[in-house]
Amino acid sequence: MADSGAGPARNRGNLPPLSLHVPEPRFRPGDRVDYSHLPIPPAGEQARPDETCDASDTRGLCDDLIRVLDDDHRAVGAWDPKLDPETLRRMLRSMALTRAFDDRMYRGQRQGKTSFYMKCTGEEAISIATAHALARDDMVFPSYRQQGILISRDFPLVEMVNQIYSNRADRLKGRQLPVMYSARDYGFFSISGNLATQYPQAVGWAMASAIKGDTRIASAFVGEGSSAEGDFHAAMTFAAVYNAPVVFNIVNNQWAISSFSGFAGAERATFAARAAGYGIAGLRVDGNDALAVYAAALWAADRARANAGPTLIEHFTYRAEGHSTSDDPSAYRSVQEREEWPLGDPIDRLMRHLIALGEWSSEQHAEMDLQVAEEVKAATKQAEKNGILGHGMHHPFHTMFEDVFEELPWHLQEQAEQAIRERQTKFPEWKA
Ligand SMILES: Cc1ncc(C[n+]2csc(CCOP(=O)(O)OP(=O)(O)O)c2C)c(N)n1
Ligand SMILES: [Mg+2]
């Protein structure tokens, strides 16, 4: 009988049947967590090549982990960015403010003031140290977990809350999911819910900057899970081919909602190692070490600005909390993971460093925590005057049909009228 190939396994002598590997995370709920398999090199031991080096000179750094803060909270090694205490305190404050903001917005969601929120707990150093290393007018192409960049650039908190509440003062008119900010004047490209689309956009922006003979660079962020998207690879190819002035950041926080990093390829190679395949520079960084993140971000920014090419930076970190307010991580991972994470907490580490320098104290830290909590509370109260979810104080309903076409086409005009009519029939008490 002719073999169609569709039936039972074909027998070819003693060849083993083919099989697939389906990744499985090490720890599930209830498991005891032991991270001793993770190689964590001592701080300060990583060589720092010149920013304009050959991309191949960074190969070793793609498998290593750039670390500056040591176990005694001192800054050590060639990557120490030697920041002055004032800058360190500014970064610490932005990190604390971001965490306080996240905590309050999370509670706001639980209180029904917004439908959705996403925290970046444990990942604050990545966005905030990067923002401090970039120029103020460099364009960032963020994912939804880089609110620290807006906060570092002093974007008004009240505007963030207005967006989260989708209220009548939301400058995005309620058209974006809460936390999907857009602030061109703060060098913060519109966040898209379609993962990884910001990567090719960043490359296009960077290429345009170069074509115009400008000096501004692009800095793009993606989660490790999203790096499995095709857009990631298209962006890398374009950037490598045209030597675009762009820095690619992969935030490897181990999880993509309930999928672990293995499904994006983490079992085979580091994410930074992908740089080698494209012939661009790659760095792998302790993402919970604000000084290491700063040093790597500055190295890559200087490299891009010197026309020496793009860099891929993997920030090795841990998503300390749920993916979003719609998630319950206790359903799929061990709660011990956060406690056992070997790279600690980024705010705690920077605080201890400043204390070790004699430039900070626990009392000052406690005082700062109170201040940032007050600042967030004041912004929330102010934003609440413009409305919260379900209180009807949003942009007029009909505006959702506007701003796409210069003139509303007839079929959308009809749809708008129908939608408004139906809404008035169903909810006569609601305003247009
Ligand atoms: C193209 C696309 N696929 C899937 C989703 C659904 N989704 C939203 S967030 C997310 C996880 C992303 O994980 P990761 O990239 O690691 O970022 P993290 O949330 O950890 O910061 C998924 C699958 C989406 N928004 N867009
Ligand atoms: Mg992730």
Mean pLDDT across 321-345: 98
In a domain, 199, yes or no: yes
User: Which of 3-12, 155-164, 264-273, 286-295 is least confident?
Assistant: 3-12
β-bridge partners, 23: none
pTM: 0.95
* Average pLDDT of the residues of the chain: 96
Is 26 domain-assigned? no
- Using a 10 angstrom Cβ sphere, with 0-12 exposed, 13-18 middle and 19 or more buried, the burial of residue 340 is middle
Half-sphere exposure of 189 (CA within 13 A, CB side): 24
- Helices and strands of the chain, counted as H and E runs: 13, 7
Same domain flag for 368 and 416: no
First to last CA, the chain: 71
**Quick check: is 60 in a domain?**
yes
Q: For the chain, how many structural domains are there in total? A: 2
* Beta-ladder partners of 223: 251
CATH number at residue 177: 3.40.50.970
Ligand 1 probe mutation, 124, 257, 259, 325, most atoms within 8 A of CB: 257
Closest CA to 305 of 138, 132, 57: 138
Sign of CA dihedral 323, 326, 330, 333: negative
34 assigned to some structural domain: no
Nearest to 312 by CA among 286, 270, 278, 282: 282
Structural domain of 406: 397-426
Reduced to 3 states (helix: H, G, I; strand: E, B; else coil), residue 323 is: coil
Q: Is residue 23 in some structural domain?
A: no
Q: Give the number of the ligand closest to the Cα of residue 254.
A: 2
Length of the chain, in residues: 432
Please report which residue ranges of 393-432 form alpha helices under DSSP H: 410-426
The Cβ-side half-sphere exposure at 363, using a 13 Å CA radius, reads 1
What mean pLDDT is predicted for residues 174-191?
97
Are residue 149 and residue 181 in the same domain, yes or no?
yes
Same domain, 259 and 406: no
Distance CA 80, CA 262 (A): 31
Rounded (10°) CA dihedral 8, 11, 14, 18 = -40
Same domain, 156 and 70: yes
In a domain, 40, yes or no: no
Residue 15 lies in a domain: no
- Considering the domain architecture, whether residues 304 and 167 belong to the same structural domain is answered as yes
pLDDT of residue 1: 42
For residue 283, the one-letter residue type is L
pLDDT score for 281: 99
- Looking at the structure, tell me whether residues 350 and 403 fall in a common domain: no
Does residue 123 register a pLDDT over 70? yes
What is the rounded CA–CA span in Å between residue 210 and residue 188?
Answer: 19
CB 63 within 8 A of CB 39: no
Helix (H, G, I), strand (E, B) or coil at 141: strand
Q: Please compute the mean of the pLDDT values over residues 248-265 and round it to a whole number.
A: 98
Q: Which amino acid is at 75?
A: A
Please report the pLDDT score of residue 64 as a whole number.
98
Atom of ligand 1 nearest to the CA of 257: 11
Looking at the structure, do residues 337 and 419 belong to the same domain, yes or no?
Answer: no
Residue 2: which pLDDT band, with cuts at 50, 70 and 90? Answer: very low
Same structural domain for residues 130 and 174? Answer: yes
Q: Mark whether 375 and 407 lie in a shared domain.
A: no
pLDDT at 398: 83
Handedness of CA 362, 365, 367, 370 (dihedral sign): negative
- Strand-by-strand arrangement of the 218-223 sheet: 139-141, 218-223, 246-252, 311-316, 281-286
225 and 246 in one domain?
A: yes
Q: Are residues 410 and 301 in the same domain?
A: no
Residues with CB under 6 A from ligand 1: 143, 145, 193-195, 223-226, 251, 253, 255-257, 319, 323
Q: Are both 166 and 311 inside the same structural domain? A: yes
**Which atom, in ligand 1's list, is nearest to the CA of 118?**
19
Whether residue 404 lies inside any domain: the answer is yes
The tens digit of pLDDT for each residue in 375-413 reads 999 999 999 999 999 888 888 888 888 998 999 999 999
Q: Which ligand approaches the C-alpha of residue 226 most closely?
A: 1
The CA dihedral of 314, 261, 164, 92, to the nearest 10 degrees, is -40
Strand 246-252, strand 218-223: pairing? parallel
In this prediction, what percent of the chain has a pLDDT beyond 90? Answer: 91
The rounded Å distance from CA 336 to ligand 1 centre is 23
